[in-house]
Structure 1
C-alpha cells in the first residue's frame, strides 16, 4: 500500500491521522498562528492559558499552553477562515475567528475576561494592528444627564458612578475594558472613538464583547464601512444602549458621539 501511495502521500495520510482529534480530522497545512493572551482588566500577559485550534466549528487537540509572556504558537495549520479557543481557570473561555494564509504567520491578541459577581457587567473592546488607538466611552445615566467614563475620566468602580475604565490601550489590538460595578437606573450608552491610526472600520477587526456573571452575553462587530474615518468623518462607532439588563444594538457610524450635552466631568483619572 505504501509503495502505491508514494512517500509524500504516506506523510499526508499520517499527518491527517495524527490530527484526528476527538473525531475531528484536520488536514495539515503550512499556516502558523501566533498569539498573546492577556487579562482583559489589566492588559497583562497570562501564563498557563490553553489555546486550541478550531476546525469547521469543532474543537481539536492541536493546542499550546501560553508561556510567561502569554505567548502561544500553533503550526502546520490549514489555510482559510478558522478559529482558536483559549481557556484558563477563573476566566471566561474565548473563541476568536482567524484568517490563515498558506506559508504565513497570523498574529492575534486574545483578552480573557475574569469572572464577575452578580449584577456586574464588563465591556471589552479589541481590534487589529490598525488603527493604533481606539477608545471606549461609556455614558452613565445621572439625573437628567450623564457621566462619561473614558481615558481622561476613568470613573470609579467602588463609588459613584459605579463604572470604571480598567485598562486603556494605545498601541493596537487592545484590550480596552470598562466594568460596570452597579447598574444605575436609566439608559447607558457605549461607543468607540477612532483616536489615532490608519485604515478603515471595515479593516479594523474591531469587536466589542459584553459579559455578565454568567459569561459572554453579546458580541458586536464594527460596521463594514470602507471609508477611512479621517476622510469620511465617521470617527464614532455607536455600539449599543443598555437599560437595566437589556442591550439595544445601535451599530452605527457618525461624526459625533451619542451624547454631547448634559455630560458631567467626573474628574477621576
Structure 2
C-alpha cells in the first residue's frame, strides 16, 4: 500500500519528512488511525514526482484491515519559495478493506413465485467479476469464499430482464440471503404506490420524501430522478417507472432514512413502508414486514431475553405479552414511575393483515447481560399442526430490518421449509448480532 498527497504547486522536497524509526507523530507527512496519538511508521521518506507536486510514501508494515486512517500534512511543509502551509491539513481518511470472507446465497423466483432455474448469476466487486454461478432447479444459489466488501450481483436469463442487487459482506464468515424476483422482458412500465406510516404508532406520515435508484438494495449513488411526497393520509405514487427492479428511499426529518425494494411489471400497489423515529444511542428497533403479495395474513415476531431473576422474558402477541418491564420483572408495571416503565422491551406494533408490520424496541438503557433471540412465526400457515413441510413462509418475501446506532441491516427469509424463522441472536453486552 502506498500513500500519496498532491499539492497545487511545487514543494520543497526537504520539507516533506516522515517518521521512519518508530510510531511517534513526527515529520510533515503523518498517517494515523487514532487521531494522531500515534502514527504509522514509514519505510522511507516520501518520494517526489509530477514536477515535485506529488509525494508518495509506503508504510513499513501492512496497514490493519478494516481500519480508518487519516493523513496529516503539517505546517512544516513549504513550497520552493519557503512559504509554509498556513494551517495543518488533515484528510477525511480512508478505510482499508476488512479481512475474511463470507457467503451470498438466496432464491430466484419468477414473478408468479415459482422457482427460476438456470439463471446465470455474476458477482462483481469494484467493477471486476469475481464469481459466477447458476441457480438450481429449485431456484436456489450460493457463492462461498467471497472476500469482504460491496458486491453488485447480476441475475440474467434469456427472455427476462436482467436484475441487479447490491449486498455487502462486512464480517468474517457472514452469510447474506439475497432473494430476487426475475421479471419477463415483456413486462410493461407502471407506477409504484402505497402508504408510509410510523413504525411504532402506525399513524400515516405526511410530507415524506421518496426517491428511486435502479437496482435492488442500492442505498447510495445517483437516483433515477423519479420522486414523490406522501400526502396527508400517508399515500404516495411514483409514476412512469420502466419495468425492472428498484430501491425506493424514504426520508423525513426526525426519522431514520429507510429503503425498500420494488419490482415494476405494470402498476405496483400496496407498497407500504414503515419508518422509525431517530433512536437514542444504544437503542435498537426491529421491524418485521410481509407484503401484500406475500400470501400470508399474519406473521408474528418473538423476542426472548434475560430477565432480572435469572430467567428469560418472552415478548409476542397477545396484548398481555407485548411488554416486559425490568422493574417488576413482569408484563405489567402498575404504579411505576416513568423511569421505571422506560426500562423495558416492547412490541410496539402488531398487524394482523397483509401488508403487515411488527415493531419491537429495546431502549438503550434496557440491555442486560446475556443472549437475546429474535424469530418470526408464520401464524397464517402454522395452524394447529405447525406445517413443518410448508414452503409458504420461504416464498413470502418477508423481511426484517434492524436499526441500531445509525445503521440499517436487512434480513431476508431463507429458502427453508417450515413456519418458524430463527432470524438472529444478539449479545446483550456487545450488541453483536449473529
Task: For 2:355 and 2:381, locate their aligned partners in 1 and report how far apart those are by CA, in whole Å.
Answer: 12
Tell me how far 1:85 sits from its aligned partner. Answer: 0.8
Alignment counterpart, residue 204 of structure 2, candidates 45, 50, 60: 45
Q: Which residue of 2 aligns with 1:146?
A: 312
- Runs of at least 5 residues in structure 1 that lack an aligned partner in the other structure: 1-28, 228-233, 250-269
Cα deviation, residue 160, structure 1: 8.3
Q: CA separation of 1:127/1:247 partners in 2, compared to 1, >3 Å: closer, same or farther?
A: farther
Tell me if 1:247 matches 2:427. no
Deviating beyond 3 angstroms after TM superposition, the runs of 4 or more aligned structure 1 residues are 156-161, 245-249
Residues 97-148 of structure 1, C-alpha deviations (whole Å, 9 max, x = no match): 11110x3334311111111111211111111122111111110212443100
Q: 1:240 to 1:92 in 2, by over 3 A?
A: same
- The equivalent of 1:192 in structure 2 is 376
Alpha-carbon distance in 1 for matches of 2:324, 2:223 = 39
Equivalent residue for 1:73?
A: 237
| Residue 170 (structure 1) aligned with residue 362 (structure 2) | no
- Correspondence 1:219 to 2:410: yes
Instruction: Report what 1:64 is aligned to.
Output: 228
Alignment partners' CA distance in 2, 1:162 and 1:127: 26
TM-score normalized with structure 1 length: 0.73
**Counterpart residue number, 1:205:** 397
Which runs of structure 2 are paired with 1:7-46 in the superposition (5 Å)?
30-46=189-205
Deviation of 1:76 (Å): 1.2
- Residue aligning to 2:125: none
Once the 2 structures are TM-superposed, how far is the Cα of residue 201 of structure 1 from its aligned partner? Answer: 2.0
State the Cα deviation string for residues 27-52 of structure 1 (Å, max 9, x = none): xx622101211111111111110111
Deviation at 1:246, TM superposition (A): 3.4
Aligned position for 1:54: 213
| RCO comparison, higher one (Cα < 8 Å, 6+) | 1
Q: Secondary structure at the match of 1:204?
A: coil
Q: 1:245 offset after TM fit, Å? A: 3.5
1:83-108 Cα deviation digits (max 9, x unpaired): 1111111111111111110x333431
More strand by share: 1
C-alpha distance in 1, partners of 2:360/2:280?
15
Structure 1 residue 188, shift from structure 2 partner = 0.5
Structure-2 separation of matches of 1:50 and 1:72: 9
CA contact (8 A) 1:100 1:106 kept: no
**How many aligned positions are there?**
212
Question: Does residue 137 of the first structure (1) align with residue 302 of the second (2)?
Answer: yes
Q: Tell me the alpha carbon deviations over residues 186-215 of structure 1, each in whole angstroms, 9 at most, x when there is no partner.
A: 100000011125971233121111112324
Aligned to 2:4: none
User: Over alpha carbons, which structure has the higher Rg?
Assistant: 2
CA RMSD of aligned residues (A): 2.1
Deviates further, 117-126 or 148-157: 148-157
Q: Judging changes above 3 Å, is the alpha-carbon distance between structure 1 residues 31 and 197 closer, same or farther for their aligned structure 2 residues?
A: farther
